[in-house]
């Protein structure tokens, strides 16, 4: 949806696993294998309250992407940072870099 070419990006998708926590673990494992190292910090980007909860269960960072009612749902679920979209690249990069 963001128009980003992910053909060479290690990732995981909904059909790869359930629950969400396992999906995130798969994505992290694929990234670590692709780059040949582990990561000191992981940030999950999502748009549902289940995404906020999954990140909390795993103890990783979370950045929400939503507006209106969906933004309120994310904030009620515990999201501290919710962007309206991916249009502002600098804001997005700053969000995933923030502690």
| 1 has pLDDT over 70 | no
- Whether the CB-CB separation of 81 and 95 falls below 8 Å is answered with yes
43 φ/ψ angles, rounded to the nearest 5 degrees: -125, 130
Q: Which two tokens stand for residue 5?
A: 């070419």
Question: What is the pLDDT averaged over residues 5-25?
Answer: 89
The predicted-structure confidence for 30-62, as pLDDT tens digits, reads as follows 999 999 999 999 999 999 999 999 999 999 999
DSSP symbols for 24-38: HHHHHHHHHHHHTS-
Give pLDDT, residue 91.
Answer: 94
């Amino acid at each position: 949806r963001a128009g980003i070419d992910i053909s060479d990006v290690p990732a995981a998708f909904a059909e790869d696993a359930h629950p969400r926590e396992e999906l995130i673990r798969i994505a992290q494992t694929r990234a670590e294998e692709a780059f040949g190292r582990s990561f000191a910090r992981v940030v999950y980007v999502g748009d549902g309250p289940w995404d906020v909860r999954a990140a909390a269960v795993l103890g990783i960072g979370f950045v929400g992407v939503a507006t209106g009612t969906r933004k309120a749902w994310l904030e009620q679920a515990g999201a501290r940072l919710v962007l309206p979209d991916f249009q502002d690249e600098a804001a997005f990069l700053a969000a995933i870099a923030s502690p």
